[in-house]
Amino acid sequence: MKPPIFFGALIAAALTLAGCSLVAISAAPRKVEGAARSSQAQAADEVFWQTLHSGDYDGIPHAQKLLMSAYLADPNDSKTAAHIGFLHVWRLSERARIAEPSPTIVDHAALGRRFLEEAVALDPADARYLGFLGTALLSEGAIHKDKKLTRRGYYMLRASIEAWPEFNLFTAGYVLSAQPKTSERFKEALEWQWTTLDRCAGSRIDRKAPDFEPYMALATDSGPRRVCWNSWIAPHNFEGFFLNFGDMLVKAGDWRTAKVAYANAKLSASYSEWKLAPVLEARIQSAQSNVERFAAPAVKKSGNEPAMMLQSKFACVACHQK
């Protein structure tokens, strides 16, 4: 039998080693944003935007390859990391495009989260990255049934809302639109959409008649409220917002108000150019009949059966495709 002094020495050594490792890890220099972006990164960005703006889901692997090459050459570029992360999120989000998706499609959740973590670490001031990371954590938590990861994602979303409410109230509410209609999280997500409208309009929107026409003159391309409108990054952001908002109201059972919300998308000057205009028109016509369908647990849709925007083939491109 070993003497007690041996075990004491062993424990002391283990504690010393643990302390040294913590000091060594905490003392390691953190990654910092590079001084300038490389021409390789900028060229990869052009392909990224072309792929996204054309809605070229099948072109994602090519764009990822170029961005990864740029990242490996310069892993201190927050935009490159963010764009890689977003492509993984897009691949997972619009998996309804794939007839028989492989179970490994969920790997994109972890990969998206990892690169978005890099983007946040390199540029913590960009609240968009924080919001996207929160959504990735929620997705990953749902896949693994990991409540700690889910809660971490939820509270990160709340932090992102504090940082940039006009942008992240929608981001957070959108990802939580998949929650059961009677859950507190879904009710909160729907209220966040209302609050987005309030902030964009500068006043409280009528909860029963959310006609946005009186506020169209407030459109801007600068400041925090620029994300309330269409932009080069999201050519149909305005239309996509109201498509999702209407879907959430339908799921909540308020299909009459949903029809008013859907119709707001038509106020956009670029509505006639929006490829999903026929989808929105169909949503207005079938708002009442979609209540039960949208409130049902998420399952694989067959044929042309409509799914909520978050679970559709256009979960990302509804706002971003030209």
Tens of pLDDT, residues 243-276: 999 999 999 999 999 999 999 999 999 999 999 9
Residues 89 and 157 in one domain: yes
pLDDT of residue 12: 61
Q: Kindly tell me if the per-residue pLDDT of 190 is higher than 80.
A: yes
25/43 Cα distance (integer angstroms): 35
Same domain, 85 and 173: no
pLDDT for residue 65 is more than 80: yes
Q: Of 127, 146, 163, which residue is a domain's last?
A: 163
Average pLDDT over residues 105-122: 97
Q: Examine the domain organization and report whether 181 and 156 are in the same domain.
A: no
Cβ density class 204-216: b for 16+ within 10 Å, e for less: ebeeeebebeebe
**52 and 127 share one domain:** yes
Is 23's pLDDT higher than 90?
no
Is 124 part of any domain?
yes
154, 175: one domain: no
The total of structural domains in the chain comes to 2
Of 163, 185, 214, which closes a domain?
163
At residue 274, the pLDDT reads 98
Q: What is the pLDDT of residue 151?
A: 97
Q: What is the reported pLDDT for 222?
A: 96
Within a domain: residue 138?
Answer: yes
Co-location of 53 and 113 in the same domain: yes
Do both 172 and 46 map to the same domain? Answer: no
Q: What is the mean predicted confidence (pLDDT) over 101-108?
A: 96
Helix (H) or strand (E) holding 110: helix 107-122
Q: What is the mean pLDDT of residues 80-93?
A: 98
Contact yes or no for 52/80 (Cβ under 8 A): no
| Stronger pLDDT, 302 or 88, i.e. the higher one | 88
Model pLDDT, residue 33? 85
The stretch 128-146 carries a mean pLDDT of 97
Residues 198 and 89 placed together within one structural domain of the fold: no
Q: Is residue 199 part of a domain?
A: yes
Q: Tell me: do 195 and 145 sit in the same domain.
A: no
Is residue 11, in this structure, part of any structural domain at all?
no
For residue 287, pLDDT over 60 is answered with: yes
pLDDT number for residue 31: 80
Domain check: are 186 and 317 in the same one? Answer: yes
Residue 301 has pLDDT above 50, yes or no: no
Structural domain contains residue 108: yes
Tell me what percent of the residues of the chain surpass a pLDDT of 70: 89
Q: What is the C-alpha separation between 270 and 64, in angstroms, rounded? A: 30
Domain that holds residue 82: 37-163
- Per-residue confidence (pLDDT) for residue 303, from 0 to 100: 46
The verdict on residue 1 lying in a domain is: no
pLDDT value at position 245? 98
Single out the residue of 228, 82, 121, 241 nearest to residue 177, CA to CA.
241
Q: Which of 124, 148, 163 is the last residue before a domain boundary?
A: 163
**For residue 108, what is the domain's CATH number?**
1.25.40.10
pTM value is 0.90
Whether the predicted pLDDT of 111 surpasses 90? yes
My answer on whether 159 and 179 are in the same domain is: no
Query: Taking residues 83-106, what's their average pLDDT?
Result: 96
Look at 101 and 4; give whichever has higher pLDDT: 101
The per-residue pLDDT for 9 is 61
Give residue 26's pLDDT. Answer: 64
- On whether residue 105 sits in a domain, the answer given is yes
DSSP annotation of 152 reads H
Please tell me whether residues 101 and 120 are part of one structural domain.
Answer: yes
Q: Report the mean per-residue pLDDT for the chain.
A: 92
9: in domain: no
Instruction: State how far the alpha carbon of 37 is from the alpha carbons of 81, 82, 83, 126, 216, in Å.
Output: 12, 14, 14, 17, 37
